[in-house]
Amino acid sequence: MGIFMASFLVFIFNIYMRKNVTLKKVNHASKTSTSIRLPQSITLQIETNTPASTNMTRILIFENYEGRRIELPIKLMRTNSHGLEVTEFPDTLHNLQLLGSLNHRSFWDKIYLKNGVYDTKIHIKRMTLIVHYYKVVGGAVKDIPLLSNTLINRVLANAVSEMYLTPFIERQTLQYAGLTSQNHPAAVMAAKDVGKSGTSDQGYDQ
pLDDT, tens digit (0-9, with 9 covering 90-100), for 66-93: 999 999 988 899 999 999 999 777 666 6
The answer to the question of residue 12 being in a domain is no
The answer to the question of residue 206 being in a domain is no
> Which residue did the predictor score with more confidence, 18 or 157?
157
Q: What percent of the chain has pLDDT over 70?
A: 70
Give the Cα separation of 148 and 173 in Å (integer): 9
Question: Which amino acid is it at 143?
Answer: D
| Residue-level pLDDT at 100 | 76
The answer to the question of residue 154 being in a domain is yes
The answer to the question of residue 9 being in a domain is no
Q: How far is CA 110 from CA 131, 162, 165, 167, in A?
A: 15, 12, 8, 9
The answer to the question of residue 141 being in a domain is yes
Say whether 188 sits in a helix, a strand or coil.
helix
The answer to the question of residue 46 being in a domain is yes
Are residues 31 and 133 in contact, defined by beta-carbon separation less than 8 angstroms? no
- The answer, as to whether pTM is greater than 0.85, is no
Domain membership of residue 53 as a residue range: 18-198
The answer to the question of residue 180 being in a domain is yes
Give the Cα separation of 162 and 118 in Å (integer): 13
The stretch 8-23 carries a mean pLDDT of 43
Q: Domain tally for the chain?
A: 1
Question: Which amino acid is it at 141?
Answer: V
Residue 161 above 90 pLDDT?
Answer: yes
The answer to the question of residue 108 being in a domain is yes
The helix (H) or strand (E) run that includes residue 44 is strand 39-48
Range 30-49 burial, b when 16+ CB lie within 10 A, else e: eeeeebeebbbbbbbbbbbe
| Residue-level pLDDT at 142 | 78
Give the Cα separation of 189 and 201 in Å (integer): 15
Beta-carbon neighbour count of residue 78 at 10 Å?
18
> Which residue did the predictor score with more confidence, 67 or 28?
67
